[in-house]
Amino acid sequence: MKKLLITLSLFLAFAFQSNAQYDKNVAIGLKVGEPLGLNIRKYFQYGDRAFDINFGTYGFLYGTNREYRKGVYQKSGIMFQSLYNWHYSLGKNEGLKVYYGFGGQINYRDYASEENIIGTRQDGEKHLSLGPAGNAGIEFDIPGNDVGVFLDGGVYTELVPDLLFLHPQINAGVRVNLVRR
């Protein structure tokens, strides 16, 4: 957790020092869905690329008690996700954009294997997993202010420890631009 906070602090320090040529620089928002949590976006160049950091729940809305390997996932966990996105305006409307991106995700939650269910540990064990993630979405910047709303969906594909375990992700949210040039 300490390393995560240090990494996040360095990212924000870098983000505020950027010499972006686009009028947006850094945005912070809330995602509601899967995952549910905080979104921080750093825009690059002319707004055609961005880097997203998402921190929140994993399995809160979908898959709280989902079959996994030789047992079940229990409860929801936490996740950290980073995605590099490409943005494109729809037509002549600069306020309406589509985007897609790729990156990675790390999850931490309870896993109860068959051995744990049969044995004395009914609560399961803490479990760390990681793999690539991808998303695509649409974003609308509300005219006259620094607020944007978005809807996106994607998939997380676990590589370790369960090769090719898929978890769909869909959410809506709102972002506020903190720094403008």
Q: What is the pLDDT of residues 4-59, one digit of tens each?
A: 555 555 454 554 444 434 466 899 999 998 888 999 999 887 778 999 999 998 87
Beta pairing partners, 102: 84, 134
Domain boundaries, the chain: 2-180
Element (H, E) at 14: helix 2-17
Its pTM stands at: 0.77
Report the topology of domain 2-180: Porin (2.40.160)
- For residue 140, the model assigns a pLDDT of 93
What percentage of the chain reaches a pLDDT higher than 70? 71
What Å distances lie between residue 79 and 59, 76, 90, 109, 179, CA to CA?
A: 9, 10, 31, 9, 26
- Report the distance separating Cα 172 and Cα 99, nearest Å: 14
Please provide residue 50's backbone torsions phi and psi, each rounded to the nearest 5 degrees: -155, 160
Tokens of 59: 């399995």
The mean pLDDT of 115-134, rounded to a whole number, is: 72
